Amino acid sequence: MQIDIGSHIAALLYEHNSVNIPGLGGFVSSYKTATADQVQGELHPPSKGLNFNSNLVADDGLLAQHLQEKLGISLTDANELVENYVKEVKEAIGRREIV
């Protein structure tokens, strides 16, 4: 069974301001307030920006706990899924693929 870890990371970012991927880095979201451009007569809704920080490599446990809960697997198995995902991403980056 192929599991789309990326979709789980995306789901977590709706609930949390950051998600760390151990050994890889972390996604950090930031909120932008709504703005009004009076010259153009436009309203811009609030939005959420996303940045990747390669220094956030520590395991906060959030991703593995989420996988454990959503997939009904042990925490050990969830951590193994995360480790395999990190390995695959690093290999893809090594091949200069877009991830």
Exposed e or buried b per residue across 30-57, where buried means at least 16 C-beta atoms within 10 angstroms of its C-beta: eeeeeeeeeeeeeeeeeeeeeeeeeebe
Q: Where does residue 85 rank: exposed (0-12), middle (13-18), buried (19+ CB within 10 A)?
A: buried
pTM for this model (two decimals): 0.82
Phi-psi region of 77 (alpha: psi -120 to 50; beta: other; left: phi over 0): alpha
Which two three-digit tokens encode residue 89? 């991403």
Q: Topology of domain 5-94, per CATH?
A: HU Protein; Chain A (4.10.520)
| The pLDDT of residue 1 | 61
Share the mean pLDDT of the chain: 94
Q: Is the pLDDT of residue 52 over 80?
A: yes
